[in-house]
Amino acid sequence: MRKNQKTELVTIFMALLLIFFVAGSALSAEFKLRANTIGNEHSIHAVGLRTLKKLVEKRSEGRIEIKIYYSGALGDQRAGIESMQSGTIDIATVDTPITTVDKVFGVFGLPFIFRDREHVDQVMKGPVGAWTAERLRKHNLEILAYMEGGFRQITNNKRPIYTPADLKGIKMRTPSSQLRIRIFNTYGANSAALPYPELYSALQMGVFDAQENPAIEVKSNKFYEVQKYLSFTNHVYSVSYLLMGTSSFNKLPWDLQILMKQAGYETIAATVKAGKTVDEEIVELANSKGMKVNKANTEAFIKASKPIWDSVGKEMGEEAIKLIHLISTAGTP
């Protein structure tokens, strides 16, 4: 056999070995999990899921494989909850629509109930977080982490927002939350819910004047193209729930369940870092894109929010009132 033929055979043999190795690696995962988020690849939710994927796949030594679906490819957040409960998807990120699971979780969405990120950390890593996890478990959902969702800010096409009075008459898009609609109607806006994937087009066509979301969305969804003003109000902190369906979780052996929990816990720091970084960088980006940026009068908004706290506590009952007290007093001297 000539030398060239030998070389060609060796090359083909090595190529076949590589193909078999790659194919074998792809098929070796005992558990192939699907994870859904409405966020795109640049969102905080995506940061959390990629952190989870990296840690879990490495530490499980290939026993678990996680495939991430971005931009609601497997449905919106409400659909994601139902799919986890039925076992058709394994993991999803959820924020405001968590109230469809248990209405008392709406307390987390009260305006200014969280003072800062340190306060959020104290609350969600303490008894309140444990209580919430137990409530979720009763609905066939396992909490992996309470991730950063970010403090929510307002963008609009009408005027800078300094006080609630500046929102009077503004058409405000909100998530699917009766509480969020009530908040902005109390402030003077004309509020209505709209699915997030439809938001950019609705702002572009003037169906809505304004929207409220963490500042990262100005960048990740290019809201600077369709909005003129960015007002830092910090009116609501979005707790993002990194969830796994109970049926999917229970299919894992105990060692992998522990691994999932540990990796989930470590996503928190990654998402908080991402949220802080964007809050710092977004002002420069917004200015460079022609947006006008301002900081709102927080005290004016807190004062306008008091009737909302009072009414929500009365409507939801004693359990909600206790939860409001536990959250609002956590970490205070």
User: What per-residue confidence (pLDDT) applies to 46?
Assistant: 95
Which residues, 6+ apart, have CB-to-CB distance to 268 below 8 Å? 121, 145, 146, 147, 148
CATH number at 240 reads 3.40.190.170
Tokens of 229: 């003003």
The pTM of this model reads 0.83
Taking only the tens place, the pLDDT of each residue in 157-177 is: 999 999 999 999 999 999 888
- What single string gives the DSSP state of each residue in 2-58? -HHHHHHHHHHHHHHHHHHHHHHHHH--SEEEEEE-SS-TTSHHHHHHHHHHHHHHH
Tokens of 34: 């699907």
Round to whole Å and give the CA distance between 134 and 84.
16
CA distance 271 to 310: 32
Report the pLDDT averaged over residues 291-312.
Answer: 94
Range of the domain at 240: 3-329
Confidence class for position 23, pLDDT limits 50, 70, 90? very low
Express each pLDDT in 80-117 by its tens digit.
999 999 999 999 999 989 999 998 999 999 999 999 99
Contact at 8 Å (CB) between 91 and 58? Answer: no
What tokens were used for 234? 């910090």
The number of domains in the chain is 1
Structural contact between residues 141 and 243, judged by C-beta atoms closer than 8 angstroms: yes
Quick check: 228 pLDDT over 80?
A: yes
Q: Mean of the pLDDT values across residues 207-232?
A: 95
Confidence band (pLDDT; 50, 70, 90) for 315?
confident
**Cα of 122 vs its chain's centroid, Å:** 19
